[in-house]
A and B are shown apart, each in its own frame.
Chain A
Amino acid sequence: MNPLKNKFWLPLFFFLASFTSLTGQDSTVHTLILGISYYLPADNIPYLKVKATEKVERKFIPQKDIIASVYINEETEANLLKKTRTDEKGESIVYLPAALKPLWDSSALMKFIVSSEAAKIFEPASSEIEITKAKIEIDTSTVDEVKNITAKVLELKDGDWQPVNEAELKIAVKRSLGILPAGEEELYTTDSTGIAVAEFNKDSLPGDDKGQLTLVAYTEDNELYGNIFAEMIVPWGVAPQPDTTFFDKRSLWATRFRTPYWLLTLAYAVIGIVWGTLIYLFFLLLKIRRLGKVSV
């Protein structure tokens, strides 16, 4: 009945609103941010990296277990490369399947789309990048005892590899936990011939056990080309001489199996003398006892 409806509408509305907030269906919007980037490592097998984050208080928090679909060129069933789930870091790697070959060969410009459906607390999200196929050729030369590293950036244009002008790249030495800039600069820009030259100034840098270093030239999140890498092994380093004897040395801070000899000698000598005497005295006591039993 109308009057009843009117009277209770407002309080009911507020009740429901507060009820939903109590049950955790918060009214704040959770926006999932999807990112996709293209990597072409030195082994020439490209892959895409999907990244899922949420912005919370000016920080990007990685989101795991997000199901994302990666497409090429169009967001259609036929063009689905892979449906993947992000790991604990909110990332996922997608390789290009062999079946993609005809589409891949057809053009130099590729568009990759990643999208996710509404799930849990997130609305659907999507992102895309356009990549022009490119590659880096790396070479070295020594002029007047100065070692130079040459990196040539080429892009595929009309079926031909053309040099790229004003491409920014980094030229560095691979390390086990990072990438060390090979020269003075951090960034190098290619000239009209697509070449950037870096002067190698890391003399006597420890390399592998043969003294070899792995040089790497790469673009970092380039808008056109993504992340492409080129590597080269050069004998420009020195073999490191790690102190392998450290662990076996006897010292005060080594394990109990590697006590310094002087301490072992001193300690056991003292203990031996004292306890030797004690054991002797204990036998004297036993002798007294025996004597007592014998002489009745």
Chain B
Amino acid sequence: MEKKNTSRRDFLITGLLAGAAAGCSGNNPFTPGADQEVTPSGEKVKLLSADGEIIEVDKAFLKPVPDVSHVTNAEARKGIAGKKFVMVIDLSRCKNLKKCQEACNHMHHVHPGQNWLKVYPMQDAEHTAPYWQPTTCMHCDEPPCVKVCPVDATFKRQDGIVLIDSNRCIGCRFCMAACPYSTRVFNWEKPDIPVEIASRPYNCETSVPQKKGTVGKCDFCPDMVRKGELPHCVTACPNGVFFFGDLNEDSVTNGSETFRFSDLIRDKSGYRLEEDLGTKPSVYYLPPVNRNFKFEEGLKTEEKKTAHS
């Protein structure tokens, strides 16, 4: 067992990387720059440690981790090794605020009116309780959409994420017909996005900019995850409804709370949608029990939306 005091030097570099990355990752100072390798620039800076020691650090480690826009298409198709992403959505917390939807639409520049993340009012049967169900792409382990794509424009990666390559898609919309969760949307016209966004180089992992005549959907924000950050919907939800994590690590987090995934599913009886179809989705739901709010409160958001449109 290594004690911190005796092996401070070992922690220095990793800690600095962590510290540098901390500049861009919320309250958690630990998130490393994932797979980001920072090359030393050679320039040193003198910093003070808590004990008053003077430490020399390479300047490159102090810069915040850069944006991962240089992932090649082959890398984007392969995914991040050793990870298997899952999402857990706690239905007992969702009040239909639709902040998740706003954040997702905003960050991905989704065409106005369409949504990759939909929040449905659900009522399974006549006498069962109604609840709000946020629905993302399920990133199924046996994805029907990937099975039917004729040109490999949509594909499943080794980290479980199903992505779309808008540069390959021919717009046949077979994947949309095949998806039982109606999660895919189509760019029927040129997406209404600002010019600076539209002229950005396209990357499968950012899914920006969307292109006319191709399909789009929730992508579990692999660009954020590569940086060690959570998808936008997870951080946007004020009620902490979305939990995201790595199945191989058995942990999911909503930004402020982290749970052991297996414990969470077992204790709260998690389930998946349309399990009978055999699609093996990666999104789990926690049943809407012990809610301290009324379902009808969520209707206010719907009224506000129709008032706006």
Contact = CB atoms under 8 A, between A and B. Distances in A.
A binds B: yes
Interface of A: 39-47, 49, 87, 89, 91-93, 95-98, 100-101, 104-105, 133, 135, 137-140, 172, 174-181, 202, 205-206, 216, 220, 227, 229-235, 240, 242-244, 246-247, 251-256
Contacts of B49: 44-46
A255 B15 CA distance: 40
B259 interface: yes
A42 B299 CA distance: 47
B48 A100 contact: yes
B29 A229 contact: yes
Contact of B18 (A41, A232, A233): A41
Interface string B1-32: 11111001001101110111011100111111
A273 B45 CA distance: 72
Contacts of B30: 41, 174, 179, 216, 229
A172 B260 CA distance: 12
A229 B77 CA distance: 37
A194 to B, nearest CB: 16
21 contacts: A39-B29, A42-B15, A43-B18, A44-B50, A45-B12, A45-B15, A45-B16, A45-B57, A49-B22, A91-B23, A92-B23, A98-B54, A100-B48, A138-B4, A176-B83, A177-B229, A178-B252, A178-B258, A230-B4, A242-B82, A253-B156
Contacts, number: 176
B212 interface: no
A254 B146 CA distance: 8
Contact of A178 (B28, B143, B146, B152): B28
A-side binding surface: helix, strand, loop or mixed? Answer: mixed
A206 to B, nearest CB: 5
B-side binding surface: helix, strand, loop or mixed? Answer: mixed
Contact of A87 (B22, B55, B64): B64
Given A101-B48, A205-B250, A181 B1 contact: no
B78 interface: yes
A245 to B, nearest CB: 10
A42 B19 CA distance: 9
Interface of B: 1-5, 8, 11-12, 14-16, 18-20, 22-24, 27-32, 34, 45-52, 54-55, 57, 62, 64, 77-79, 81-84, 142-143, 146-147, 152, 155-158, 225, 228-230, 244-246, 248-253, 255, 258-260
A138 B158 CA distance: 37
Contacts of A41: 15, 18-19, 22, 29-30
A135 B228 contact: no
A44 B258 contact: no
Contacts of B246: 175-177
Contacts of A101: 48, 52, 54
B62 A177 contact: no
A225 to B, nearest CB: 11
Contacts of B45: 95
Contacts of B64: 87, 93
Contacts of A40: 50
A234 B143 contact: no
A42 B11 contact: yes
